[in-house]
Amino acid sequence: MQTENIEQSRIGELSTLSLAHIGDGVFELLARTHVAAEGQCRVEQMHRRTVALVSAQAQARAAEALLPGLTQEELAVYRPGRNAKPKSAPAHATPAEYASATGLEALFGFLYLSGRAERIYELWRRILQNGQGEET
């Protein structure tokens, strides 16, 4: 996972919602890759499976499962992301779910911009292993 060349000092200057914006793309790419790697299926099925992994509800469950294993630095990124006040939220998610999802996306954005691909993959594997990314 190659990142754009952004100086570490500049990453800290980005807003948590900017980090979440990047993290949303990272998380979606991981989900799409996972779904595609599961095997051939119709496009509609791939879309449904991807949405099940990236929905605010699924991301909130994933965040809750990951929280105990996050480092202090990661928590320091997740918490402001969770507490950010985006201008809009999806109708199908509670405010708490959307807040947790935004925190998770901010964390993934931070890790991506910091060049910590291995940590991203480690967290992603934990999400999948715990079944936290699947709709229940």
Catalytic residue (choose from 20, 24, 61, 97): 24
Distance CA 38, CA 52 (A): 14
Residue 77 a catalytic site member: no
Spacing of C-alpha 14 from chain mean position: 17
Q: Residue 19 and residue 112: Cα distance in Å, rounded?
A: 9
- Return the structure tokens found at 95: 């405010």
The catalytic residue positions are: 24
